[in-house]
Structure 1
Amino acid sequence: MPTIGFREVTRHFATKNGGLTALDRVSLDIADGEFVTVVGPSGCGKSTLLGIAAGLLEPTGGEVTVDTEPVRGPGPERGVIFQQYALFPWMTVAANVEYGLKVAGVPRARRRSRARAVIDLVGLTDFADALPKTLSGGMKQRCAIARAYAVDPKILLMDEPFGALDSLTRVRMQDALLDTWSRDRRTVMFITHDVDEAVYLAGRVVVMAARPGRIHSVIDVDLPYPRTEEHRLSPGFAELRARVWSAVHHQPAAPEGAVP
């Protein structure tokens, strides 16, 4: 059974001109432990699809399930990470990471132990007592990932988490994410605009089309894990990148007013 199941998911938004269909009968299964990236032109509804999986938006039609149970709102089994770090600026790294555990009523000693473990996991051990303003962009994102990991979600939903980073930091964050994923094999749904990133991270790349949002194609990435710079430079990677690029960019532009 799929960990995440999208069944004929449709989403309409009301506009001053009457309405906009952001997603049109999207169906997709994401298996337990699978790393899936979703890429597509601006306005194709990628973030809307993730928002529905997170329980932050309701579908107009269709259904999303997690372990066969319908999604009715946010849940602790789904950790959500956005491009904006959304850290509490007055809290240290450790306090930010502990926050979800504190809200859940986890005893102090246990939540501190868990926070230390995930801070170590993302490589921020020496910055546990630092405030967010003293961190680089990549370190802030690692803190956001640690906060999501702290509550031990089965699923990570990531909406362009590296989009605001410089290219070198972005590559390092991709490698750090894959290193963490290889150890725990959580189910990951990762939204990106970047074709190279989509291919490098994923076991499958879902390419979406606009007018309105729907699945254009699903491309298997048959590169072995762990991924390395050698894979990035390989002919196999170049071929896959070309296939995804063609699927994404040889499409009509999204209509004016389309959602993300």
Structure 2
Amino acid sequence: MTTDALTTTKISVQGVTKTYPLGRETFTALDRVSLDIADNEFVTVVGPSGCGKSTLMNILAGLDEPTDGKALVDSVQVSGPSPERGVIFQQYALFPWLTVRQNVEFGLRTAHVPRAERRARAQYFIEMVGLEQFADALPKMLSGGMRQRCAIARAYAVDPSILLMDEPFGALDALTRVKLQEQLLDTWSKERRTVLFITHDVDEAVFLANRVIVMAARPGRIYDVVEVDRPYPRTEEFRLSPEFAALRNRVWHSVYHQAGRTAADSPSPTA
């Protein structure tokens, strides 16, 4: 799947600015950020600490409001949380007293989905993320990677059109992280959603995305947009290829060679 095939705008961020009071002054977390994301596109966001990645996600999730500008989903302004936007955080946010199956069913239960349908949908996504042998296990019995797979299954089960993922693999060891990246893309290839995936890992950003959005800090803004015009599925061959290395190097330099640059110095890519 290439970005040429992605045409219908799903998410539109239009001139979003977010400021917070800081003593007698204000701190600008986001400065006039504009970005369009196509339906079923997989976009990663990477940037230095303090660039507003999580602030942007919280605004799209409806957990925060912009100071200026607006965020739209399907041309409707975001005004609060919605089951259409599934959110997955670094901390798995599973209910420790519920089993894997009960955690995955939780959103369906609150939506009053009939028991038989609820069970069938939960089972489908539990199997999709490879946790069928642990469906009746409590979270404390699972590894970190398994807990995150449970969180992903729970998010998919309520059938959101958008997945917002805030460094979901950030606390995992390198090998588990690579395996979950491949698992996530496998799940996404079967159950397409629009994905905004925040990460601090450049390799992860390039491996997963149709496009990598590089942000600059103080104030947070879009610094670069890197197209990853490589078909799915992504394999180890791609990860070890010269093409991957070239894309990684471009993103790396965009992220880590911003010292001393101001907003006026930054390029203005069309996102």
Task: Quickly name the TM-score band, shorter chain normalised.
Answer: over 0.9
Question: Per-residue CA shift, 1:35-72, capped at 9, x if unaligned?
Answer: 00000000000000000000000011100000001000
Q: Is residue 2:189 matched to residue 1:182?
A: yes
Structure 2 equivalent of residue 44 of structure 1? 51
Aligned to 2:255: 248
Determine whether 1:172 maps to 2:195.
no
Q: How many residues get paired? A: 255
1:252 deviation in Å?
Answer: 2.3
Counterpart check, 1:162 vs 2:165: no
Q: Please show how residues 90-239 of structure 1 align to structure 2 within 5 Å.
A: 90-239=97-246
**Which position in structure 2 is the counterpart of 1:54?**
61
In 2, the alpha carbon distance for the partners of 1:135 and 1:179 equals: 21
- Per-residue deviation, residues 45-102 of structure 1 (Å, max 9, x unmatched): 0000000000000011100000001000011111000000011101000000111111
Amino acid at match of 1:92: T
Question: 2: CA distance between counterparts of 1:116 and 1:202?
Answer: 28
Q: Distance in 1 between matches of 2:24 and 2:172?
A: 36
1:211 offset after TM fit, Å?
Answer: 1.6
CA contact 1:223–1:236 (8 Å) conserved in 2: no
Gaps of 5+ in 1: 255-260
Q: CA deviation at 1:18?
A: 2.0
How far is 1:167 from its partner? 0.2
Aligned to 2:14: 7
SS in 2 for 1:105: coil
Instruction: Let me know the Cα RMSD of the aligned residues.
Output: 1.3
Give, as a single letter, the amino acid of the residue that structure 1 aligns with 2:242: P
Which residue type is aligned with residue 235 of structure 1? P
What is the TM-score normalised by the length of structure 1? 0.96
Cα distance between partner residues in 2 of 1:219 and 1:249 = 15
Offset, 1:253: 7.5
Residue 25 (structure 1) aligned with residue 32 (structure 2): yes
Task: Give, in angstroms, the shift of residue 17 of structure 1.
Answer: 4.3
Displacement over 6 Å in runs of 4+: none
Q: Is the 8 A contact 1:41 1:253 kept in 2?
A: no
TM-score, normalised by the number of residues in structure 2: 0.92
Q: Which moved more, 1:35-44 or 1:102-111?
A: 102-111
What residue number does 2:264 align with? Answer: none
Deviations 1:230-249 (A, max 9, x none): 00100000000000000000
For residue 184 of structure 1, report the CA deviation from its aligned partner: 2.0
